[in-house]
Amino acid sequence: MDNRNKYSFGIDVGGTTVKLGLFQANGILREKWEIKTRTQDAGKHILPDIADTISEKMKEHNLHEEDLHGIGMGIPAPVNSQGVVHATANIGWGYKEVRRELEELTKLKVKVANDANVAALGEMWLGGGQGYCNVVLATLGTGVGGGIIVRSEGIIGEHGSGGEIGHILVEPTEQEKCGCGRQGCLEQYTSATGIVRLAKRRLQEDDTPSTLRDRELSAKEVFDAVKANDQVAIEIARTFGEYLGKAFATISAIVDPAVFVIGGGVSKAGKILLEFIEGPYHKHAFFANQEVKFELAKLGNDAGICGAAKLIIEE
């Protein structure tokens, strides 16, 4: 069978569910489904469960080994180039030869990578980074994560922490501690919780009227207030954009991407987010990095299965 007509399975292993997708090599998603992540017994059921559901799906679609590129998989832990993990925080595994074990269970070719890099690969293939091979995905959620793609491959790094952009120091004067134990990390100002923190600080500074006062705050409400032209909310968004734009300028000086893709819950605020980032970026970026693009992530929760499938597809 021509490689371009072969299928791939893309798998995104999370702490509560395993998401799976069956893809054509041109990116068309034939089917997606989920199974539970059984983390008990040191996660020993996870790979057999995956092998079972893959086997069923192959029967259902009448697919055989020769019809498939194989299985790509993203997992929430650092993974080395041999598909080995040394520890996981949420799925029970300690040292595990993930690639070898799943290959033995399925008799299919398997590739495994860290979930942040896999999501970035997905956005490169079918999402906000489409058409480029040098892509930075910044995921603004509860924390700030990242995936950096250089020449179509994720930067894993020596200790599996490539793309940990949430822990770039951006505010030397910060007194409060970040989750990582240091002070002034990007995550403290640009995650969903970081934006709420910025908002509370700003509201305490004075009595300027704002629709953000006297209520539960969320990143969404801050950006909703920005859209309603609330001046205090706009100031908060400017502070957010200044930190993120400056951090992106630093990332550009180091890896020189074609495009920054913004994902995670905060990105649901929409295009208005980009307006606050672009100005500070252009002010702080090196002249050779002025031509970069800014895009919103497009794949949402499907980024993981898309990128995982891309991982295994042979051009």
Q: Between residues 268 and 284, which has the closer beta carbon with respect to a copy of itself? A: 284
Instruction: Tell me how many residues contact a copy of itself (CB under 8 A).
Output: 42
234 sits near a copy of itself (criterion: CB under 8 A): no
Q: From start to end of the chain, where are the E strands?
A: 7-13, 17-24, 29-36, 68-75, 84-85, 96-97, 110-114, 135-140, 144-150, 153-154, 259-263, 293-296
180 sits near a copy of itself (criterion: CB under 8 A): yes
Q: Between residues 39 and 152, which has the closer beta carbon with respect to a copy of itself? A: 152
Q: Restricting to residues 117-146, which ones interact with a copy of itself according to CB under 8 A? A: 132, 134
Q: Restricting to residues 75-114, which ones interact with a copy of itself according to CB under 8 A? A: 81
For the record, the structure tokens of 45 come out as: 């059921």
| Candidate list 10, 83, 257, 264; residue touching a copy of itself; CB under 8 A | 257
**Is the distance from CB of 299 to CB of 27 less than 8 angstroms?**
no
308 sits near a copy of itself (criterion: CB under 8 A): no
230 sits near a copy of itself (criterion: CB under 8 A): no
155 sits near a copy of itself (criterion: CB under 8 A): yes
261 sits near a copy of itself (criterion: CB under 8 A): no
295 sits near a copy of itself (criterion: CB under 8 A): no
At a CB cut-off of 8 Å and minimum separation 6, what does 262 contact?
128, 138, 140, 273, 274, 277, 294, 295, 296, 297
How many Cβ atoms sit within 10 Å of the Cβ of residue 21?
Answer: 22
| Candidate list 41, 66, 159, 228; residue touching a copy of itself; CB under 8 A | 159
User: What letter would DSSP give residue 178?
Assistant: P
258 sits near a copy of itself (criterion: CB under 8 A): yes
Q: Which residues pair with 29 in a beta bridge?
A: 23
Q: Between residues 64 and 159, which has the closer beta carbon with respect to a copy of itself? A: 159
Nearest to 276 by CA among 210, 203, 227, 309: 227
| Candidate list 66, 89, 175, 181; residue touching a copy of itself; CB under 8 A | 181
Q: Between residues 149 and 226, which has the closer beta carbon with respect to a copy of itself? A: 149
Q: Between residues 228 and 288, which has the closer beta carbon with respect to a copy of itself? A: 288
Q: Between residues 21 and 184, which has the closer beta carbon with respect to a copy of itself? A: 184
**Is the distance from CB of 10 to CB of 20 less than 8 angstroms?**
yes
Please report which residue ranges of 83-191 form alpha helices under DSSP H. 98-106, 115-126, 187-190
Q: Between residues 46 and 259, which has the closer beta carbon with respect to a copy of itself? A: 259
Distance between CA atoms of residues 115 and 75, nearest Å? 5
Q: Which residues pair with 145 in a beta bridge?
A: 139
| Candidate list 2, 204, 216, 287; residue touching a copy of itself; CB under 8 A | 287
Stretch binding a copy of itself (CB under 8 A), from 26-34, 44-52, 106-114, 280-288: 280-288
Reduce the DSSP state of residue 72 to 3 states and report it. Answer: strand
59 sits near a copy of itself (criterion: CB under 8 A): no
Secondary element (H or E) of residue 280? helix 272-284
* Residues contributing to the site for a copy of itself (CB under 8 A): 81, 132, 134, 148, 150-151, 153, 155-165, 167-169, 180-182, 246, 249-258, 284, 286-289, 291-292
